[in-house]
Amino acid sequence: MEFRDLKIQYENNKVEINHAIQEVLNHANFIGGKQITELEKELADYVGVKHCITCANGTDALSLVLMAWDIKEGDAVFVPNFTFFATGEVVSFNGATPVFVDVDENTFNICPESLKLTIERIVKEGKLNPKVIIPVDLFGLPADYEEIEKVAQKFNLLVLEDGAQGFGGSINGKMACSFGNAATTSFFPAKPLGCYGDGGAIFTNDDSLAELINSIKVHGKGTSKYDNVRIGVNSRLDTIQAAILQVKLKVFREQELDAVNSVFHSYNNKLQSIVSTPIIPNGYYSSFAQYTIKLESKAIRNELQTRLLEHNIPCMVYYAKPMHQQKAFSSSSFIDSDFYVTNLLCDTVLSLPMHPYLKEEEIVEICTIIKKFMLERKK
């Protein structure tokens, strides 16, 4: 059994994917070209925004937006404490200060109330200029943008949606990667929509932001790559990856999103009376980058993980360490008790195998082991 089965996915779509790659090889057009332009249009249409700009990976996508907004030393950027390292890393990389915010224990996403209190504290301290909020659509579930937008307006902050795990999710039909002033995603192979290497994209309705990012991502180009009007970077999506993504986007929309949601329902039906299962708020739709349960304690979580691994069931702890405890951020001082929920989640979460090709028999097998384990504990 695989945690996320990319081999089956390839097997099922082999003819189309091979053909798409072969097309790129035949034309020997490896950078730019029609696949990139078409894919950007398809992604923008799907998400429902004006502009999609592809780039080298999801980390660059975040960084390109912060560069375009001129986020720099002295600026505060608010980031959930429970996320993948890159969300905070890009802030420090651009010279600004990541300010971590506790999350909601049901959705695992940034807590709007904690966000408000944290911003108020930073304003009161008067040392940093609050500039941006980066909510993360963790494990596929969009963050609470209605509440986040209210906070952003109150304090006049920009919102950058980190949709690296959220592509395909939605709130009342409004798609992930369409929230905030700009949004980003990642096409890392294991993300909801993955390519066969690294890749990423930025989404926005803001014409001038899109133009600026299109310049920054190609060495700060002006009218051409050899007319350079600002300092930029080199961050492009390879044409082969775009060709693969064109095939995979179609399958993702037509089958895979439904399939992961069926897996979610099947898991929840079997597990919800036994462990704490994912909660999807009304009107929300998740693209299930992860299916994550919670146990009562760290000891129980670790024992269950060991048990599953003994049965060759792959399972992972996302995330074992809060951002504020990462050594890379140790130059800032944080108060551990400010992050009650994040600390609790790091100790109690466990992500089970989750992908569109997971079979019902496999779900039954996993859930049977979990049920037996929990029953033994009660005796």
Ligand X SMILES: *Cc1c(COP(=O)(O)O)cnc(C)c1O
Pairwise CA distance, residues 9 & 116, whole Å: 42
CB 185 within 8 A of CB 61: yes
| Closest approach of ligand X to the CB of residue 364, in Å | 29
Give the shortest CB-29-to-ligand X separation in angstroms: 23
Q: Which tokens hold the place of 29?
A: 């057009």
Q: Which member of 9, 35, 87, 178 binds ligand X (CB under 6 A)?
A: 87
Alpha-carbon distance of 159 to 91, in angstroms, equals 13
Pairing of strands 291-294, 349-352: antiparallel
- Residue 188 binds ligand X (CB under 6 A): yes
For residue 100, state whether it binds ligand X (rule: CB under 6 A): no
Does 136 interact with ligand X (rule: CB under 6 A)? yes
Per-residue exposure over 123-146, b if at least 16 CB sit within 10 Å of its own CB, e if not: eeeeebebbbbbbbbbbbbbbbbe
Residue number closest to ligand X, CB atom: 58
Backbone angles phi, psi at 107, to 5 degrees: -95, -15
Which residue from 9, 54, 59, 107 is in contact with ligand X, where contact means CB under 6 A? 59
- One-letter amino acid at 106 equals N
Q: How far is the CB of 187 from ligand X (least distance, A)?
A: 7
Q: Which of 63, 165, 277, 290 binds ligand X (CB under 6 A)?
A: 165
Q: Minimum distance between the CB of residue 374 and ligand X, rounded to whole angstroms?
A: 29
Residues 196-215 that bind ligand X (CB under 6 A): 198, 200
Does 194 contact ligand X by CB under 6 A?
no
Binding to ligand X by residue 164, rule CB under 6 A?
Answer: yes
80-88, 105-113, 327-335, 366-374 -> range binding ligand X (CB under 6 A): 80-88
| Nearer of residues 84 and 264 to ligand X, judged by Cβ | 84
Determine the 3-state secondary structure of 71 from DSSP: coil
The length of the chain is 379
Binding flag, residue 57, ligand X (CB under 6 A):
yes
The label of the residue with tokens 């992972």 reads: 316
- Output the smallest distance, CB 226 to ligand X, in A: 28
Cβ atoms of 59 and 284 within 8 Å: the answer is no
Residues 6+ apart with CB under 8 A from 6: 189, 190, 194
Task: Determine, following the binding rule CB under 6 A, whether residue 58 of this chain makes contact with ligand X.
Answer: yes
How far apart CA 116 and CA 149 sit, in angstroms, is 11
> Does 179 sit near ligand X (CB under 6 A)?
no
Residues that bind ligand X (CB under 6 A): 57-59, 83-84, 86-87, 136, 162, 164-165, 186, 188, 198, 200
